[in-house]
Structure 1
Amino acid sequence: MSWQATAWVSKIEAGGASGKLLLYALANYADENGRCWPSDARLMSDTELSERAIRDWKRKLEEAGLIAVERRRGGGGTFQADEIRLAMATETPARPPANPAGGEGKTTGKSCCDHRQMTPPPPANGAVPPTPPYKAEPSEEPPIEPIEREAREGEREEGEIAEAAKADRPGSADFEKRVARFCSGRGFLAGVWQDWEKSSLGYIGRHFAALSPEERAEAERWRDPYLLDLGARKIAPQPPGNFLRDKAWNALDPMILKRADDLRQAKLGPADRQQPEGWAKCLGPAGMAFLFGKMLDGPADAVLAARPFLTDSQLRAAWPAVWWWRASQNQKGGAVFDRRWHGLASAMEPVPKESAMLAAWRAEFDARGWQWMPVFDGLDVVFCPKGGPAGLEAFKAAIDQGDEQAEAEE
C-alpha cells in the first residue's frame, strides 16, 4: 500500500461514492508509482460492489484520466490481471463523467469529461513546476499481484463446466470468490481453514474446478463438520487443496454432520433459527428500500413530524411505518418485508461512512424533515437509493411501477 496513492485519492473528485471507494481500493494495492494489479474479484470483495459496477467505474475513471488500464495477455492466449496505474501526476482534482439519474448501473458509454482539463497548464514563463514539500519514500509493501490470477489460469486449463449459476462456472469472478470463501471461512461456521495460505489459491481452485457441481456442494457441506471435528480433537486438517483432490468427505463419519448442525443451531438466536419467507435485515438493501419508500410517502402527521425531536410514541404517531422499521431493527434486526421491497434491493447501493455521498444523504434527510437513524452512524456502509439524493425520483418511479405490476397481478 502506498500512502502517496491514498493521499492522492483523498484530493480527487471521483464523481460518486462508489468511484471514490474503488479508487481507495486501488490505492490499497498500489506502489509508490501508483501501479497495481488487483483482479476484479479482489476489488469486488474489498468494495462489495457488483462485477458490473466495478467494470463500469473502471471505464469511467479511465475515461476521466484518473486511471490507466493495461490489459495483459499471458501464455497460451489467457488474460492476466489488468495493470492499473493511478494518475498521481494529476495534481488538480478531476471530475469524471456524471452519473445518470438512474444510478451507476445505467451508463451511456460516452464520456462527458473534457480531457484537456485533466493536466494543469505549465507555468507561463516555462519554469519547472515546484516539487511537493515532502520527500516521497518508497512503500515498504510490494505491489500486490493477486493470487486469484493464478487460480483463474488454472481453472481455464481444466475447461469451463457448462452450468447456469455463475458461482459454478470456473473462470468467473463469482467462482473465484467461492474458492476464496472456502479457504477464508467467510460465511462458514468453522471459520478460516488452518494454514490454507501455505497452499496456492490456484492449486486449490484447480481441484475445486475439477469437481462436479454436486461434488462442490458436498465439499462445502462437509467443510465445517470436518474442521470442527478435527479442532475438537486438536488435530490439524489436511490442506484444502488435498481435501478437494482426494474427495476426503467420502470417508468421513456422517455423525459429524449432525454435531456440526447442532452447534450451528445453538449459536443462532431464536429469530434466526426459523425465519419466515420474506424476512430480511432492516439495514440490508430490502429493509432500507422499505424505509426510503415509506419516508417518500410522507408522514401521517405532518405537524408532529416537523418537530426536531420525537419521542417513541410521537414517532409512532407521525411516522407509523418508520417507527415499525426502527422497532423491528432494535428488537430482531430484521422483519418480513413484502416482495416488492426485495425486488427493489437491486436499486440500492452501499454508501461508505464518512463519505461525501453519505454527507449529502444526511443533508437531504434534514431538508426533507426525515428522521436520521442513530444506528446509521455506526455502520461501515448505509444502503441508499442509487445515484445519491438526485436518484430519489427514479427510485420513486421504480416503487410506483412495482405497485402497478402488483395490482395487475391481483
Structure 2
Amino acid sequence: MSIEALRWVEAQETGSPGTQLVLFVLANYADENGECYPALSLLAKRSQQSVDTVRRKLQVLEEQGYIERQERWRENGTRTSDRFRLLMRRAPGGDPLDVVGTLADCEGTHPGNLQGCTPASFARGTLATVLPQEPPFNPQLNNPPDPPVGGGGGEPDVGEGDGSQLDAFLTAFGEEPSAIVSRPPAARAWAKLTPVERANALAGLRAYLDHCRRHKRKVCSPATYLRDRYWDSFKAAPEPQRAAPARKLDGRSQAVAWARSAADRSRWVFVEEGSEAWREWASAFREEGAAFATGSMKMIDVGGGRYEPRRGRSFPMERPPPRGTPATDADAAE
C-alpha cells in the first residue's frame, strides 16, 4: 500500500463515487511506483461492484488520464491480470504536474517563496498542491523545433502523414453523441498500429458506428476501438458486381449461415474470443460480407468441477471449413 497514492486519490475528482472507489482500491494495492496487478474480480469484491461495472470504471479512469493499463500474458498464451499504473503526476482534476520530492524538501520554506521546492504538499490543509513556476516568455517557443528521435514528451509519434488520419478518425468518433473522445490514449493506441492496421481501422469505423446506432449499443472509446481491434469485425465488404454470377454455396458459406441463424445452439461449440479459431470465424464472416459481433461473457467448464468466465460465442463447429469444402445436408449437420 502506498500512502502517497492514497493521498493523491483523495485530491482527485473523477465525477462518480463508483469510479472514485475503484481508484481508491487501486491505490490501496499500489506499490511505491504506483503500480499494482489486481484481478478484475478482486477489484469488484473490494469496491462492492460488479465486474462489468468495474471494467467500465477502469475505462473511464484510463480515458481521463488517471491510470495507465497494460495487458499481461502467461508463457502458455493465456491472459492474466493487467498491470495498472497510477498517473500521479496529474493535478487534482486537471493537467499533469511535475511534482517530485518529499516533505523534507520544503521544511522551513515560506509558502510565498517556493522556488526550487516541489513537494506534493506541506502539512495537510496548508498547501494542497505546489504549482510549477511559469517560465519567462520566449518568442522562439511559439514554433519549437521537432524533438530528436527517441525523445520523450508530448503525444506519441504517429508517423509522417498519419496525423491527419488520426484527426479524421477522432473527428468521425466525435460525430457520435454517446462517444467519449479522449485524444491522448487514442494517440498512444494509434502509434502502436502498423500502416495497414490504421487503414483497416478507418475503413471499419463507419460500419461499427452504424452497427451501434442500429442496435442501440453504447459506442466504445477510440482507444478501446483501436486496442481491442473492433475493426476486425466491421471491415467494409467489397461491393458486389452487378453482373457477377451467383457463387455456389460451399461448406464454409453454409457454416457462416448456420452461425447466423437462430437454430438450437445447445450442442454448439464455445469459441473463446482472441483464439485462432475465433480469428478464422471472423475471417469467414468477412468473406461472406457479414458483421462479426464481439463475444459475451460465459461461464465455461474448465475441468475438475470448476467454471471460469470466458468471453466468446458459440458456433456450429470449432472452426469453419476451408473454402471449397462441399456443402452438407442441413439435417445431417444438426
The bucket for the TM-score relative to the shorter chain is 0.3 to 0.5
Report the TM-score when normalising by structure 2: 0.33
Q: Higher RCO, 1 or 2 (CA under 8 Å, sep at least 6)?
A: 1
**TM-score for the superposition, normalised by structure 1:** 0.27
Q: Larger % of helix: which?
A: 1
